[in-house]
Structure 1
């Protein structure tokens, strides 16, 4: 017997089933190896990882996703490479967002991703493009285009997604019962679920939130609960009220503007804030604006400042929830003869501002293409140049007698706080966190350029109302790094004490009432600013801008995703979702009523903005029409204004 025949008699040839089993074993082994290496890598390099209790379920979810990919793969080698690229892109992106902004990747981030490409330049832009393009290319390269099993696997994935889209509520209920839900602490959700489960669960939740617009009866109940009444002349020209109407209004929203002196552990060599600003701010009682966001999503702070309603969701309101033309502050003032101008030297479409600014009533929007980009801190136009050019443009308006609403959103101050050669660092810090010193020097220049602008503006427009505030706190490193080392914030939101939630969203606020000077507002949610401006103007016209401000002035509510807190004097009450504090009952009811009005006004039929019916006959006609086809009249009214600007 030959040697080869003897070998085959001892070792039978591999069967197809055995080969397949080995292939599957290798594929799943590669997923396990990647998972261990990836989790160890992000934990070591970034300080982010799922909780220990979630490791097995997170690994199981990755194995399930890997199974679907392997069924579609042309070969084991192509599967291994494509899987590593796709899984790594999601894992690294999520870890970076967690470390920088304190929260994991959410479904809305995929919708908002296009804005990232408008913001970044150079290697950062190309790196972000690669994070999207390379995984997609890897999947296309991996796919077994001629194999029926690949198409069957893809069809199975598509059918599963379609089932969730059609019936998201049962999916959410099932997943919440098994994996939990901690809305106010999305990082905690990620840590107890792992990334694939977290994304699937929150995607289903987003789909389940697509509620129908509220009907007229719900809106009436919400208005009554808030003690508000519908405006009597929506979109109708109104006469200027006597008193202060006609004074110019200047609103300056300062990118990432905050007082860094509480960072005691940082060892700053000097106070970064301009002494003149420090004096002005002290005259307001060191008032603070309470923002809906931390470290980003400036557009949500803008929406509150312009429209007088709070943002609660962890998503950009301008992007998906502002679907109607609305009488926000620019349009309300425009009805009284004001010219309303928005200035922001960023790309015009960023955060859907072109459409959003038109919907809220701005008559003109000056973006990056309208400014001379002559004093750049890397890709960010300096505040000094922005202020100078705005003053040059509005100069004729300050002289011609037509009242002006001048809205300025600065751009300089974005992460990672670059400075040009004309702005050398002057503040040193002992902290090993380089962002702390970089931010302190950014504030040094921002505050001085702001005060130079204010001096000239007040000299040229002494009777004007001026409102300025920081849009949100700056990001100071991964896991709240700069804040955590000074004990201002914990590394994870699950470890926050009550006071930290207020610290998380409080930025400097200055309101100047013309020659009367600074106003002592106390800590004020940003959404309360439009009503305050109307009060300072003496504008007593009916307005939706006062709907939310009808609440008790002594109690101020700051809604945040999955939670809120109230301020009554110096008393702070934090109400987390699912809590049963008796002190939270009234604020919970208030938030629910506000939510109904918000859905109605900004994406619904705008029942709250229609003039009250004059006769019983008209009310009867509306009720009868509303009963035909499940709300025909509401649908028609909603469709009438559902056009993009």
Structure 2
């Protein structure tokens, strides 16, 4: 036994400790984050914790070591899950463990230390706890290995069995955690992830998908007649971190409008267009993928991390083939969200990251937009004077949670008592919008014919459980209580398109994956493009897929498709009518996405440019972050 106590007493003490920890942890999560499993879930969740604790105690050197190691391990998992639920509205999934290393690039100071501690401390303490030379340890490890082997060998069967026993919602991930508890949820979603690892689509499957999309459009989307002229105007795309209109937060009683009056006028001239984002509060890289490649993200993970495995003619490479030079600028650590590899694969020739900028105007760890814009213009100035067109892609960093300002940017806007985070965001947005307008004035002076597009990447996080929004009735505190209109609110950010000397143009509301094809049309680029495949979903003017759910928008009318589940007020007949065609369209798009970005790229055989040149490009790095 792993202790000098009598075996029964030692085991009883160990399991009692787990039970006491569980009660304290659930009480704390409810007090701090208002996050807990359903009351009916507590017995199974406690049992899962006890079984996992028993497995660990069977390998422990002593009871004190076991208590310390398991308390830190369980607390780290529980706290990490609560933080993600509170900030992003979704529980921890297996993909988060793959992406955890990016936390070290995102945080600084005490936040960085806390992130390191949450990841490293449990691993170190587990290694310190385990009695490596004891036979019982290796028996338990063998049992654990056997279980992992069954999971890998039969993930689909396990997923089906666990879904039947513990439940599963395709669109309401917080409810999945609430009905299962954390250990069961992680096991169930790990099995689901493994069962999704399908073989890439075949040529016949890709042809069928292309045919179904061509039927929707009534034409072949990948081919055009003749030899169209190549575009020659510059394209400037500015992605604005957490850029949104906070005047809708009526309960916050903001003392002034945070948005610059010039931006208000510009947005009005652009018809108050909105972009519809695939994410809330974070995961900017998924917005990037959509606006650069024209395909929707439909899962709760970062597509740049594992879904982009081939060189693909996305917007940057499409423009390179027309003679453009392509630049990406983002003053964050270069490899964050795998951007070095992702940018290279989609065709950016140059990538300027934090090491390439003078960090001269910092709001804590975030370079100000004013400094970023100034330095980008300085770097592009020689190129803008030449005849060769440019695609200038700028992803800002200032405006990131938790909205710090430096001494040059004092807070000038106040909010109602208890709305401190909204006030912090409003003051950040005030400076952000003014620095944006100063940049636009200079950019339009230097490049009056350029096509400029700017938009917010996602809504800002303003408090746990959609706090900041709930007080004003914009969102509910739980995703399960969202109305259809709330799902639209969840994804809408300002969108402005400036068509050179024509000025702002009203493009309407667009899902981000529809944007690149629209921009190519404004540039006069009629060449065949993979981005044309998703321009017009069926049945609705706009289809905004989200993980396990789709939002259908037709004018002011909004409806949701939640898998097989009915939205409030829906009948089976109305659900089938509204969602059937959209579901079929989305399945075809997902099949083509798998083929193009991680498969054999059969779809590229229908493009005029031979597919071989894209494969050959993989051998030659084109993105050049500074060494």
TM-score between both structures, scaled by the size of structure 1: 0.91
CA shift, 1:126, in A, is 1.1
Q: Map 1:504-515 onto structure 2 (within 5 A).
A: 504-515=490-501
Residue of 73, 94, 108 corresponding to 1:86: 73
1:591 aligns with 2:586: yes
Conserved in 2, the CA contact under 8 Å of 1:272 and 1:443?
yes
For residue 624 of structure 2, what is the aligned residue in structure 1?
Answer: none
Q: Aligned with 2:297: secondary structure?
A: coil
For residue 432 of structure 1, what is the aligned residue in structure 2?
Answer: 418
For residue 226 of structure 1, what is the aligned residue in structure 2?
Answer: 213
Aligned residues: CA RMSD: 2.2
Residue of 101, 122, 127 corresponding to 2:109: 122
For residue 347 of structure 1, what is the aligned residue in structure 2?
Answer: 333
For residue 414 of structure 1, what is the aligned residue in structure 2?
Answer: 400
CA shift, 1:183, in A, is 2.5
Report the count of equivalent residues. Answer: 604
For residue 136 of structure 1, what is the aligned residue in structure 2?
Answer: 123
Cα displacement string for residues 475-508 of structure 1 (whole angstroms, at most 9, x for unaligned residues): 0011111011111111110111111101111100
Conserved in 2, the CA contact under 8 Å of 1:267 and 1:431?
no
For residue 450 of structure 1, what is the aligned residue in structure 2?
Answer: 436
CA shift, 1:230, in A, is 6.7
The separation in 2 between residues aligned to 1:446 and 1:463, in whole angstroms, is: 25
Q: Which runs of 5+ in 1 are unaligned?
A: 1-15, 614-633
Cα displacement string for residues 488-534 of structure 1 (whole angstroms, at most 9, x for unaligned residues): 11111011111110111110000111111111121110011110011
For residue 460 of structure 2, what is the aligned residue in structure 1?
Answer: 474
Runs ≥4 residues deviating over 6 A: 636-644
Q: Aligned with 1:362: secondary structure?
A: coil
Larger Rg: 1
For residue 609 of structure 1, what is the aligned residue in structure 2?
Answer: 604
For residue 619 of structure 1, what is the aligned residue in structure 2?
Answer: none
For residue 37 of structure 2, what is the aligned residue in structure 1?
Answer: 50
The separation in 2 between residues aligned to 1:168 and 1:304, in whole angstroms, is: 30
Residue of 165, 177, 194 corresponding to 1:190: 177
Cα displacement string for residues 259-295 of structure 1 (whole angstroms, at most 9, x for unaligned residues): 0000000010011000000011011221110000000
Conserved in 1, the CA contact under 8 Å of 2:539 and 2:582?
no
Distance 1:415 1:536, change over 3 A: same
The separation in 2 between residues aligned to 1:106 and 1:576, in whole angstroms, is: 20
TM-score between both structures, scaled by the size of structure 2: 0.93
For residue 260 of structure 1, what is the aligned residue in structure 2?
Answer: 246
Distance 1:644 1:490, change over 3 A: farther
For residue 559 of structure 1, what is the aligned residue in structure 2?
Answer: 545
CA shift, 1:39, in A, is 0.4
Conserved in 1, the CA contact under 8 Å of 2:313 and 2:614?
no
Distance 1:240 1:485, change over 3 A: farther
Conserved in 2, the CA contact under 8 Å of 1:264 and 1:486?
yes
The separation in 2 between residues aligned to 1:533 and 1:100, in whole angstroms, is: 32
1:382 aligns with 2:377: no
For residue 275 of structure 1, what is the aligned residue in structure 2?
Answer: 261
Q: Map 1:140-539 onto structure 2 (within 5 A).
A: 140-227=127-214, 229=220, 231=222, 241-242=228-229, 245-539=231-525
CA shift, 1:19, in A, is 2.4
Distance 1:637 1:50, change over 3 A: farther
CA shift, 1:555, in A, is 1.8
The separation in 2 between residues aligned to 1:117 and 1:159, in whole angstroms, is: 33
Cα displacement string for residues 80-129 of structure 1 (whole angstroms, at most 9, x for unaligned residues): 11111110110111111111111111111111111110111111111111
Distance 1:374 1:532, change over 3 A: same
The separation in 2 between residues aligned to 1:603 and 1:71, in whole angstroms, is: 42
Distance 1:239 1:269, change over 3 A: farther
CA shift, 1:158, in A, is 1.7
CA shift, 1:305, in A, is 0.4
CA shift, 1:337, in A, is 0.4
Conserved in 1, the CA contact under 8 Å of 2:41 and 2:178?
yes
Q: Aligned with 2:328: secondary structure?
A: strand
Moved more, 391-400 or 436-445: 391-400
Cα displacement string for residues 386-441 of structure 1 (whole angstroms, at most 9, x for unaligned residues): 00001111111211111000000000011100000000001100140321100000
Conserved in 1, the CA contact under 8 Å of 2:213 and 2:585?
yes
For residue 12 of structure 2, what is the aligned residue in structure 1?
Answer: 25
Conserved in 1, the CA contact under 8 Å of 2:328 and 2:350?
yes
Residue of 551, 562, 567 corresponding to 1:576: 562
CA shift, 1:70, in A, is 0.7
For residue 99 of structure 2, what is the aligned residue in structure 1?
Answer: 112
Conserved in 1, the CA contact under 8 Å of 2:312 and 2:614?
no
Conserved in 1, the CA contact under 8 Å of 2:228 and 2:527?
yes
The separation in 2 between residues aligned to 1:395 and 1:182, in whole angstroms, is: 52
The separation in 2 between residues aligned to 1:547 and 1:501, in whole angstroms, is: 25
Moved more, 42-51 or 377-386: 42-51
Conserved in 2, the CA contact under 8 Å of 1:230 and 1:612?
no
CA shift, 1:556, in A, is 1.2
The separation in 1 between residues aligned to 2:309 and 2:262, in whole angstroms, is: 42
